[in-house]
Amino acid sequence: MRDTPLSVTRLLADGDTEAGQLREQLREVIDPELGVDIVSLGLVYDLQVSDRTAAVLATTTTPACPLGDYITAEIERVLLASGAVDRAYVEITHSPAWTPQMMSDETKRAFGWS
């Protein structure tokens, strides 16, 4: 196992297409305070799928934010409800720390970035 922030997902083999679809499904998970989904906010660092198992590396906007368990539970709920996977591994990390630059261009524009 590589000792890097993405080590969880690297345990699994590639499954890019399916992973991409599941990543899109994670747009159902909304940050209630901002009203924006966690993918657009850049809170999902990585998602890989292998053998009907999904591994997700996600973050919160700050280590002082208590929403880690909530985001983890919501990611699991959405992935399992998709029927595409039987198991979901979620890990919350703060390495690297989230920055607003990680948001999607559309989200940045919505928040007034020029």
Q: Which residues bind other proteins (CB under 8 A)?
A: 1, 3-5, 7-8, 32-35, 41, 53, 60-70, 72-73, 76, 80, 86-95, 97, 99-100, 103, 107-108, 110-113
- What is the closest distance, in whole angstroms, from the C-beta atom of residue 25 to other proteins in the complex? 16
d(CA 56, CA 92) in angstroms, rounded, equals 9
- What is the closest distance, in whole angstroms, from the C-beta atom of residue 49 to other proteins in the complex? 13
Of residues 16 and 62, the one with the C-beta less far from other proteins: 62
State the residue for tokens 């934010």: 65
Rounded to the nearest 10 degrees, what angle do helices 68-81 and 16-25 cross at? 120
- What is the closest distance, in whole angstroms, from the C-beta atom of residue 16 to other proteins in the complex? 21
- The length of the chain in residues reads 114
d(CA 114, CA 112) in angstroms, rounded, equals 6
